[in-house]
Amino acid sequence: MEVKQIAIIGAGVSGLGAIKSCLEEGLEPTCFEKSNGIGGLWRYKETPENGRPGIYKSLTCNTSKEMTAFSDYPIPDHYPNYMHHSKMMEYLRMYARHFGLMKHIQFQVRKKKLLP
């Protein structure tokens, strides 16, 4: 049977979870990310970028670890319950590494249309 190819737009929390789920189902996902890194909102930048939502330097999650974590990949015990955004970003990097997601992401590709 032909393997279905799936396009995923954006490598934020939603996109990373989508890539992982596609792989689990035996699909062939390609994630297109317009920036040069994963994490979306959680990829903190010192200077705000036009058209991109940003977070401030001291931002801490307002959701507990239990509520924030992907259900199949717990946040490490030694992380604080309400994490600083840098810890959230570390967690997302670990998640991507653990499930081998990076090779399915093409960076600096901005998708304009979902359909041809």
Ligand X SMILES: *[C@@H]1O[C@H](CO)[C@@H](O)[C@H](O)[C@H]1NC(C)=O
What does the CA dihedral 82, 84, 89, 90 come to, rounded to 10 degrees?
A: -80
Pick from 110, 113, 114, 116 the residue near ligand FAD by CB under 6 A.
110
What minimum distance in Å lies between the beta carbon of 33 and ligand FAD? 5
Residue position matching structure tokens 């994963």:
38
In which order are the strands placed within the sheet that holds 28-33?
5-9, 28-33, 105-107
x/- binding map, residues 11-50, to ligand FAD, per CB under 6 A? xxxxx----------------xxxx----xxx--------
Question: Which amino acid is residue 85, in one-letter code?
Answer: H
Longest dimension (CA), the chain: 50
Chain residues in the site for ligand X (CB under 6 A) = 62-63
List interacting residues with ligand FAD (CB under 6 A).
9-15, 32-35, 40-42, 53, 55, 61-63, 68, 110-111
